[in-house]
Structure 1
């Protein structure tokens, strides 16, 4: 029996579309009312092809692109792994029939069946079920099984958090590289050499453009990357939570040792 994925992301995207529509309805008339044709023409004249090239193709910007691309590839790989892990919920790992019970003598045969079904793949759900069955075969206590499942879920979650360390470093490095470009631009602005004030002002303005361009690109990339990190982390946390729920419904609530009061 598969566990349905959460519908929360779909609702969030729907709310985002509604928010965009509301803002567009409010802002568009104000832009048409307050923005003169001269200001729009001036804006188009300012953002020329050469200006856009300086904005997006600086040395620091290219370094930011490399870090962002590296992080996105890692996140894409981790998200594909989450999707592969979720296929385990459709496997026949435990009896799901109504009224089915798991006795201590059933634990080891079910464990061998689990190994055959999963073919030794490192699946989060399979790890929780296998450890729970092994503990039940030894202790015959549902309380001990619940503790083992909970501890293993914490281990799996910690492993996932540790695996995101490189991505977290890259998410921190991107704005840091942008600030390096900012410092370089500011240093060039104050260190500009010119024969007159007009030339000094022109050179300083060019250097300041470089400084703020680096910061702008780096911060935008960082915002996008942090959202992707948040989305992948939430998918991984949901995977572990659903695995615990599966164990609760199909393992813990079906354990029966045959003792008094069970």
Structure 2
């Protein structure tokens, strides 16, 4: 995903460089810079496309998790009570669905059923489900670690571009005999404007990514919480154990 979206970012920079007028190119890609096409702005766009692609993938994953809740793995009739003989067919259906190792809900159901078949204890099933949900929440957090780094990296690149641009502008103004040129002020302020515009673009990119990331991460966390609630309501609280502690 990172390789593909990185190439998309490179292609986007190439399109900008070929089609944008000079004033827009200075704002977005610094086409007149000394290091172009290896400018800071181009690296920012590549990083932005990589992060956007990863966020799109995470959004699809969250939608897939929410769809699992509508597949009816467990009986949802409030009058239904699950006995030990009912768990085997449910387990097989979950495992045959192809998502038993990928999505939250099938993983929770299959682990809880296995735990109950081993221990015949609803309490141990509940403990296992809580531990599994904690691990899944940590798994979600780890998935967003690269995105958090990119969201931090883009403004950093913008500030690096600004500092570099200021240095180049001052070096240009300090060249011998340059102070006598009537266009010196216009040239220096133009270079400084490009540098500060790069920081502005970086901050806008970071704001967009942070907003999008919060939406997607919240959606995944809601999917996990809904999966745990579904498993608790329709599996843990439905299993019948007789007074002797044996599954019915």
User: Quick check: TM above 0.5?
Assistant: yes
CA contact (8 A) 1:181 1:210 kept: no
Match of 2:161 in 1: 181
Match of 1:69 in 2: 49
Distance across 2 between alignment mates of 1:157 and 1:120: 17
Match of 1:172 in 2: 152
**Over the residues paired in the alignment, what is the CA RMSD in angstroms?**
2.2
Q: CA deviation at 1:234?
A: 0.5
Match of 2:140 in 1: 160
Aligned length: 214
Q: Normalising to structure 2: TM-score of the pair?
A: 0.79
Deviation readout 1:175-234 (Å, 9 max, x if unpaired): 111011101111022222213275443332122112201101100111001111111101
Q: CA deviation at 1:144?
A: 1.2
Q: What does residue range 19-168 of structure 1 map to in structure 2 within 5 Å?
A: 49-58=21-30, 59-118=39-98, 120=100, 122-168=102-148
Match of 2:200 in 1: 216
Match of 1:234 in 2: 218
Distance across 2 between alignment mates of 1:112 and 1:50: 63
Runs ≥4 in structure 1, deviation > 6 angstroms? none
CA contact (8 A) 2:99 2:106 kept: no
Deviation readout 1:233-252 (Å, 9 max, x if unpaired): 01110110100110121012
1:251 corresponds to 2:223:
no
Match of 1:30 in 2: none
CA contact (8 A) 1:118 1:126 kept: no
Segments of 5+ residues of structure 2 without an aligned counterpart are: 1-20, 31-38
Distance across 2 between alignment mates of 1:78 and 1:250: 27
Q: Normalising to structure 1: TM-score of the pair?
A: 0.75
* Larger helix share, 1 or 2: 1
Q: CA deviation at 1:81?
A: 1.5
SS at match of 1:91: coil
